Structure formats: C-alpha cells, structure tokens
Structure 1
Amino acid sequence: MPVAEIPGSKSITARALFLAAAADGVTTLVRPLRSDDTEGFAEGLARLGYRVGRTPDSWQIDGRPEGPAVPEADVYCRDGATTARFLPTLAAAGHGTFRFDASAQMRRRPLLPLTRALRDLGVDLRHEEHEGHHPLTVHASGVEGGEVVLDAGQSSQYLTALLLLGPLTRTGLRIRVTDLVSVPYVEITMAMMRAFGARVRREGEVFTVEPGGYRATTYDVEPDASTSSYFFAAAALTGGEVTVPGLGKGALQGDLRFVEALERMGARVSVDPDATTVRGTGALRGLTVNMRDISDTMPTLAAIAPFADGPVRIEDVANTRVKECDRLEACARNLRALGADVATGEDWIEIRPAERLTGTEIATYGDHRIVMSFAVAGLRVPGISFDDPGCVRKTFPGFHEAFAELTRRLELE
C-alpha cells in the first residue's frame, strides 16, 4: 500500500512563523514546510530583525513581543499571500517604517479589506501605487486595539491577520465580520493562537481577542491537507490505495474534508487517529458539492471530474477567482483543451463525463495548484505537459518526483 509522505502544511507553517516571531521566548517549529512561500516568509522575518535558525527538520525563531528589531526595512514578499498579508500586520504592532512589495502576481491580488481595517485601528499605512494592492508602507507605532468591522468574503486571511494581531494590541480586538469564506482556516488560526497562550473566542459573527501576547513553545507542523488532495485523488481515479500518515481525526486543516467528496464519488475512505487512507473502487460517480470552505481543493476535484459517470458540479467557489490566478476559469479552459464539456458561472463550474480526452500542454498561469491538479488527470490522459512545471516550488518543490514515485507504486499494486 503506497504511503505518501506529504510536506508540512503551508497554512500552519505561515501562522506558526508569525506566532513564533510575536511570542516571548524561543519557539521550535518541527517539520515546517520548506518551500518558496515559507522561505519567503522566514526571509521577511529576518529582514525585520527576527532571528530564524534552521536545522534539516526544524526552525527556531527568537520571538520579539515588542515587534521588529530594526527601525526600518524593505521586505519582498515574493508570491506568498500569507507573507504579504501577515507581515505588514505583524510590523504594525512594532515601531518603525516598513515597506512591503511582492511579485507581479501577488501585486494583482486584493488587500484592501485588511488595510482598511488596519487604518480603522489607527495604523498609518499607505499604498504606494494602487489602492488596496502592494507595494505598501507601514509607519508603525503600535496598535491600541478596539473594535473593527471586516469583510472577509474574498479571503479568510484578512481575518486571520487581524486575529493574530489581537494579543499584540494594548487593549485587545473585537472584530465583527460581515462576510467570511474558508471558515476552517480561521479555526486553524484560533487553535494555533491558543497553543501559543492567547485567548480568543467567537460568538456568531464577532471575534474577540484579549491582549497579553504569546508564549513560545515547540510546535509540530502537520502534513499539508491541500497537497494531500492530489495523492488521495490519484487513488480514487486509478482504483489504487494511498495513505497519508500524520493527517487524521485530530487534524487542524479543514481541507482534509476533500476526502468526503471522494467518498461521495465512490471511493472508500478511512480517517484514523493518525492517518487517512483513500481506496479507489474503479468507478467515480457524479455529484454536486459546495466547496466554499475547502476551495483550495476545487481544482483537484475539477481535474478528475471528467472521469465520473455523471456531471460534477462545484458550487460557491467565487473566491477561487482571486487566487494566484482565476482558478475557476483556468480549470475550465484546460479541461476544454483536453476535450471535456465544461460550463461555468460566477461561482460554479460543471464538468460533464468525457468519452475521450486528448493530452495537451496545460496553461498553468504560474499557479502551483493547477499543475498538481492536472498531474492527477495525467494518470488517465497520456501526453499532458505543463508550460511552467516548476511553479510547484511555491508549496512543494519535490512534487513531480514524489508524484512520479506514487504513480509507479500504484501501477505495481
């Protein structure tokens, strides 16, 4: 039975780096994700004056509850959305002048709901070129705290950034959310904040965070559930079996719920205390599924949808249009290029069964999830290639090698 060793969660690693930097003491992160995104986050912390030490299996971060150790810095956030949204918020709690910029891809992604909320809290923040986008400069003098209203309908990262800031404010935060997508990611944030000693609670649409800072700890990073989706989908598509250790019933990541969709399609799923196994049955059923809360796995499901015996309709995924690319449209275009029958709307995509698909070069739009998703389709469609296969370095630099090894082992079953 193939066992897939999945790298650490990107979402958890990014949050842990923020929490470690803000905590009082030295934090050790065990098995963090080492990828372009997380290395960019760690590099950003170093630019702000935080010490980040590395061993092959862990990172050590010297926390600074008072904020960055330097009075001014230029930070390049690369392609990382968590880096681009979390680090300016962390810097705002300190004192100094801090400029943030990012790649052309990240510059296009929206930031305004977060920066508007920070301004409402008294943060002196200026967008240098286009309102609501990088680059931006923060003239930091600490954050008093108080009440703020936030629209997190485009990205839960706006809310996560404010929640993480809360314990660093002088009086705490009370955040009223008017819209919220990807709720499981917010639940990850609150669970991790509590692991670092913070007090945070939710009552309906209101999130309350008490002041008091964070305390350093040793934190184990669980495998990435979004990345695991490609390996689980491979098992469902080929009739094979894949187990991901370290990702079970106690997992923080909501994206593990992707296996529920595979189960509805006919796969056999076993979620144990410390591992999850998916067994394909040789057939996939069509379904209609709401993926609002697990939208990072939408491309994975879309890529295997043509092989189902009925239509696959994925709903409530408008937020996928403002990711690294317009993922909904990218999936539709690539599926059509393969020969699939696809319809789309503002927040949905429907893929109908295909009698025959033909391999082609997949347009990746520089998006790691498009590459990894259509690599799964490649298990049934010979001749699939990618215009930018290397963009997987964002979250899983060794993906192609790991997936090829999995494919080999599935074929030997």
Structure 2
Amino acid sequence: MTEALWPAPVATSAVDATVTIPGSKSATNRALVLAALAARPGWVRRPLRSRDSQLMADGLRALGVSIEETVNSDAGGTGGGEAWRVIPGPLHGPAQVDVGNAGTVMRFLPPVAALADGPVHFDGDPRSYERPQHGVINALRTLGARIDDGGRGGFPLTVHGTGSLDGGLVEVDASTSSQFISALLLSGPRFNNGVEIRNVGETVPSLPHIRMTVDMLRKAGAQVDAPEDGGEKDVWRVAPGALIGRDLVVEPDLSNAAPFFAAALVTGGRVTVRDWPKHTYQPGDQLREIYTAMGGSCRFVEDGLEFTGTGRIQGIEADLHDVGELTPVIAAVAALADSESHLYGIAHLRLHETDRLAALAKEINDLGGDVTETEDGLRIRPRKLHGGVFHTYEDHRLATAAAVLGLAVEGVQVENVATTAKTLPDFPRMWADLLGQV
C-alpha cells in the first residue's frame, strides 16, 4: 500500500512556541536494559513511547522480564506521568525477538540473550539485514557465546544462551557504530569476568552516546573505567557485579529538538523546549552551539531552553562526527542558508536507517538544490528550491528534515511522515501546533 503524501506546511509568520519533546530514545532503551539486568525491580519514568522503545520492551519481555506500563504513578519514588515498572526475571529462551530497524535493539539485546538460558532468535525489517552487526557478533563469540548467523555477520541470527557468559578482554572495530561498545558495556557487569573492550578501529563515531552509557551504568552501580576519566585511550572496562534497580527519569530527546529550533532559525521566530537539562551527555545538546553558529541565539529560561532566530541563516563548516543524527535537519537548514556549508566526519551515516548522505543529496537536489557527497560528508550550496515529493526511505530524521524545508518552500510533499513515530510519535500534530495551524 502506498503511503499518502503529507503536505509540509509553509510558515506564514515567525513561530513563537513552547514545545514538550518526548523522552530520549537512547536513554529509554539503555535504561530498560539496565533495569532488566538489575538485581531488583526499578522504574523508568517519562520513557519515550515509540516503535523503537516498544521493540526493546517487547524483546526484553520475550526473554522473561516483566515490564508494567503505568500512568500518573508516584509509586516507588520521584515524579509522576507515565512510568514503566521493570521487574527482572530469569532470562530464558526459546524466544523470538523482532529488532525492527532499531539500532539500539539489534545491538543491545544479543549480549542480553547470551545471558539467557536457551536459544533466542532475532529477526527484523529488511534494512536490518544490511546494517552492520559484525562488531557485536564477533565480540560475543570471543567472549564465549555461540551464535548462528549462517555466516552472514548479520540478521537473522540465533544466540544460543547458556545462562552465563565468561566475558573478559575483547577487541572491537567500532568505526561503523559506537553501539557495538555500548552493547557490550551494558551487559558487561553480568559477565562472569566483566568485560574489557579495546577499539581497534581508526575512530569511534558518536562518542557522546558511549559517555551516556558509562554515566547510566555508574548510576546503576557498575564500576566502569573509560578513556575520558584519564584511562587508556580506546579502552573501556566494566567490573563484574550486581546492578541496582533504580528510579530513573528519562531526559527529553534533545536530538528531536533539531526541527523545532530550526523553525525558529528559518522563520526568525522563537521556540522554547521545556526541561532542557543544564548538564547532559546527550549529543543533541550540541544544537546550541551549531545553530548559534548558523545565526541564532539561545538562553536558559525558567521553562527550559529558548532559541531565537533572526530569519537569516549562515552556512557552516561543521564536523558532525559525534552528532551524526543531527545531520539531516542541519542539512535542510543549510539548504536554506545564504552561503555554502560543508558537513563532514559523517561517513558512518551511510550505514544508518538508510544511506543518509546519498538520500539527503538526492532529495534536496530533486527540489532544485545543489548538494554533493564528499568522502565523509556533504557540501551544500544554497539554491532557490521548488516543491516536489521528498522521499524518506523509512527514516524518521529525513521526514523531519523535509518538514523544515517545507517551512520556506511551497509544495513539499513528504512521503510516509508516519516514520517519525520512531522517536516523535505525534510529529504532524506537534508541527501544526508549532505553526499555529491546528
């Protein structure tokens, strides 16, 4: 069935809005794994309810973890609103896990399955077969797991769990995904000998996500040594030990603020995102610096973070290696700027939900743009754009990038805007609210 096209609304005036962003997908899925591996029950509060987090919760349930979803609960500690009560149970197979096209699920759950007693079969969307998984598969085999993947180095695959895993030293090439390291760190405390991970790749993309993993592990009671603490470069260690079931409140997903702050830039308006943390490990926090360089300004206010645009957008030279997920919306803003932009350090985006570099170049160019791929990024020369269909390739961040272009370009039709449900389950309504077009 062909998805209906969504007409991206054009901004008729400067935006002036306050937005509540749903919880962080990255933090929600890490919190679910840590709670599932803990020694006693815990709470995950204000979680993101999306396809990716539901796949994670359902995968853990298949392995024997109880996850109870409640609303307006104050039981167990801080905060109200939606909360998930996670009750660890003996991990077991046989089980079937659907990873969809969720990187966190496809990377984080196989190490958990290695701790289960029995076979756990993993399958997912067709795109999951193409995404790199070798880092997790090879590492788990080194650490003592038996995995049947038919020699593919990817999905579908079966992890034959025996109830425990030796752990120890393992070398990983994490140059295509930082999630390989996070996956092993999250389950590492439950390995008999913990885990010592040595990255043997030339680089690691999205390092802030690993720092988030380390921070959340420590808050759950794990002992972790990491390079940023003065430890050995490219080496992470987790000692074996029990994890604490705790009460965790998930921060807003700062990466999802990208299109909303972009609307302030494009229209010369003002947008406040509620509850923006003053200290965070989320890569999305770098939006403050990037968008300021593109012509806006920001400040902390009582409600959160306020971003203001002037209506003039400057091109940017930016290394987005650590914040690759922000690239699609930044590229859209750059296509509306008054000077050329060069976005680099993001070759790994070719292996995300889709080949994001090729997709962005094609779709912006099809609207009259001038975008060329470089070896590790994009060069964007602003041109007068026109309407047309913007294909999203089942990629939520391409859909939000298209919405940003539509603010200034009449006739942009977004294919499958519903793919935004991956992290922004109610995006079309939120966008209409932002523009006062409800």
Q: TM-score, normalised by structure 2?
A: 0.90
Matching residue within 360, 365, 376 for 2:393: 365
Matching residue within 197, 215, 218 for 2:247: 218
Q: Distance in 2 between matches of 1:225 and 1:288?
A: 22
Matching residue within 32, 39, 46 for 2:61: 46
Q: How much has 1:161 moved relative to structure 2?
A: 0.3
SS in structure 1 of the partner of residue 295 of structure 2: coil
Q: Distance in 2 between matches of 1:136 and 1:213?
A: 29
User: Is residue 17 of structure 2 the alignment partner of residue 2 of structure 1?
Assistant: yes
Q: Distance in 1 between matches of 2:369 and 2:288?
A: 23
Higher alpha-carbon deviation: 100-109 or 271-280: 271-280
Q: Distance in 2 between matches of 1:258 and 1:273?
A: 19
Matching residue within 74, 77, 80 for 2:96: 74
Show the counterpart of 1:398: 426
Q: How much has 1:275 moved relative to structure 2?
A: 2.1
Q: Distance in 2 between matches of 1:100 and 1:367?
A: 21
User: Is residue 112 of structure 2 the alignment partner of residue 85 of structure 1?
Assistant: no
- The unaligned stretches of length 5 or more in structure 1 are none
Show the counterpart of 1:330: 359
SS in structure 1 of the partner of residue 436 of structure 2: helix
Show the counterpart of 1:199: 223
User: Is residue 159 of structure 2 the alignment partner of residue 138 of structure 1?
Assistant: yes
Q: Distance in 2 between matches of 1:59 and 1:335?
A: 40
User: Is residue 143 of structure 2 the alignment partner of residue 121 of structure 1?
Assistant: yes
Task: Deviation per CA, 1:185-218: give whole Å up to 9, x if none.
Answer: 0000001111111111112211111110211000
Task: Deviation per CA, 1:309-330: give whole Å up to 9, x if none.
Answer: 1101100100110001000111
Task: Deviation per CA, 1:80-104: give whole Å up to 9, x if none.
Answer: 1111111111111232111111111
Matching residue within 193, 197, 212 for 1:188: 212
CA RMSD of aligned residues (A): 1.5
Preserved CA contact (<8 Å) 1:249 1:272: no
Show the counterpart of 2:76: none
Q: How much has 1:168 moved relative to structure 2?
A: 0.5
Q: How much has 1:366 moved relative to structure 2?
A: 0.9
Preserved CA contact (<8 Å) 1:250 1:274: no
SS in structure 1 of the partner of residue 192 of structure 2: coil
Q: Quick one: which amino acid aligns to residue 311 of structure 2?
A: G
Show the counterpart of 2:197: 175
Q: How much has 1:271 moved relative to structure 2?
A: 4.3
Preserved CA contact (<8 Å) 2:119 2:158: yes
1:127-166 equivalent positions in 2, closer than 5 A: 127-128=149-150, 131-141=152-162, 142-166=164-188
Q: Quick one: which amino acid aligns to residue 84 of structure 2?
A: W
Q: Distance in 2 between matches of 1:352 and 1:123?
A: 49
Q: Distance in 2 between matches of 1:289 and 1:274?
A: 29
Task: Deviation per CA, 1:107-165: give whole Å up to 9, x if none.
Answer: 2211001110111111111113x521111111112111211111111111100001112
Show the counterpart of 1:14: 29
Q: Distance in 2 between matches of 1:213 and 1:157?
A: 22
Q: Quick one: which amino acid aligns to residue 133 of structure 1?
A: G
Q: Distance in 2 between matches of 1:331 and 1:83?
A: 25
Task: Deviation per CA, 1:312-369: give whole Å up to 9, x if none.
Answer: 1100100110001000111101110111111111211011122x21011101111111
Show the counterpart of 2:276: 247
Q: Distance in 1 between matches of 2:429 and 2:329?
A: 18
Preserved CA contact (<8 Å) 1:149 1:176: yes
Q: Quick one: which amino acid aligns to residue 209 of structure 2?
A: Y
Q: Quick one: which amino acid aligns to residue 95 of structure 2?
A: A
Task: Deviation per CA, 1:238-295: give whole Å up to 9, x if none.
Answer: 1111111122321230221022111011101224697222100121111210000000
- The unaligned stretches of length 5 or more in structure 2 are 1-15, 72-81
How many residue pairs match? The answer is: 405
Q: Quick one: which amino acid aligns to residue 56 of structure 2?
A: F
Q: How much has 1:228 moved relative to structure 2?
A: 0.9
Matching residue within 296, 303, 307 for 2:325: 296
Q: Distance in 2 between matches of 1:306 and 1:171?
A: 51
Preserved CA contact (<8 Å) 1:111 1:133: yes
Q: Kindly tell me: are residues 253 and 271 of structure 1, through their superposed partners in 2, closer, same or farther at Cα, counting changes over 3 Å?
A: farther
Show the counterpart of 2:309: 280
Q: Quick one: which amino acid aligns to residue 265 of structure 1?
A: M
SS in structure 2 of the partner of residue 181 of structure 1: coil
SS in structure 1 of the partner of residue 312 of structure 2: coil
Q: Kindly tell me: are residues 96 and 251 of structure 1, through their superposed partners in 2, closer, same or farther at Cα, counting changes over 3 Å?
A: same
Higher relative contact order (CA 8 A, sep 6+): 2
Q: TM-score, normalised by structure 1?
A: 0.95
SS in structure 1 of the partner of residue 18 of structure 2: coil
Show the counterpart of 2:286: 257
Q: Quick one: which amino acid aligns to residue 159 of structure 2?
A: V
SS in structure 1 of the partner of residue 299 of structure 2: strand
Show the counterpart of 2:131: 109
